[in-house]
């Protein structure tokens, strides 16, 4: 089993959306490095930190589990979709997605500021300058360190 962090904009898709749906495809990844991780590295049973980005309160909001490995992202073929890619085709799909299942919300949102202040996360891509990947690996030690911050603070989300 491996550990990952997936970024999402909560006004588009949040941990609460996943809680309602229970299982959802993780579509719309349009970065080749992130696509390659989806395609080549992410497996059924892997655990995922769901990270809310591009919003007022950024941070880790919940946990999901991968329940289906990479398959073609059909939204790339739909001209009506925000994720349409004219260079993708059924014969040669450029983009893939996985399915994730809701596990739980974190006890509180774990803010980016808290993560950046943790020395044990200094190598985590999320806290490095200039990293904009929407999908990134997390080591088991980083995973444990991040979740250890659930108990601190008052804010439930």
- In the chain, where the domains are located: 3-151
* pLDDT of amino acid 130: 81
Percentage, residues of the chain above pLDDT 90: 89
| pLDDT exceeds cutoff 90 at 3 | yes
| pLDDT exceeds cutoff 60 at 156 | no
Tokens of 98: 């996985």
Q: How far apart are CA 91 and CA 51, in angstroms?
A: 33
pTM for this prediction: 0.93
Q: How far apart are CA 23 and CA 18, in angstroms?
A: 7
Residue from 25, 3, 35, 21 nearest 134 by CA: 35
Tokens of 17: 């959306």
Residue 33's alpha-carbon distances to 36, 59, 65, 149, in angstroms, are 5, 22, 21, 29
* pLDDT of amino acid 48: 99
* pLDDT of amino acid 154: 54
CATH code reported for the domain at 3-151:
3.10.590.10
Per-residue pLDDT tens over the stretch 110-131: 999 999 999 999 999 999 988 8
Bridge-based pairing of strands 59-72 and 3-8 is unpaired
């Amino acid at each position: 089993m491996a550990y990952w962090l997936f970024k999402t904009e909560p006004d588009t898709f949040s941990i609460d959306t996943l809680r309602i749906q229970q299982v959802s495809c993780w579509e719309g990844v349009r970065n080749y490095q992130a696509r390659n991780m989806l395609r080549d590295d992410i497996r059924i049973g892997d655990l995922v930190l769901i990270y809310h980005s591009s919003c007022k309160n950024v941070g880790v909001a919940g946990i999901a589990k991968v329940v289906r490995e990479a398959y073609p992202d059909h939204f790339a073929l739909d001209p009506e979709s925000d994720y349409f890619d004219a260079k993708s085709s059924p014969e040669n799909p450029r983009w893939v997605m996985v399915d994730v299942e809701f596990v739980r919300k974190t006890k509180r949102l774990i803010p980016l500021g808290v993560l950046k202040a943790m020395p044990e996360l200094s190598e985590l891509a999320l806290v490095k300058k200039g990293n904009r990947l929407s999908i990134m690996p997390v080591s088991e030690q980083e995973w444990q360190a991040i979740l250890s911050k659930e108990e601190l603070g008052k804010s439930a989300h």
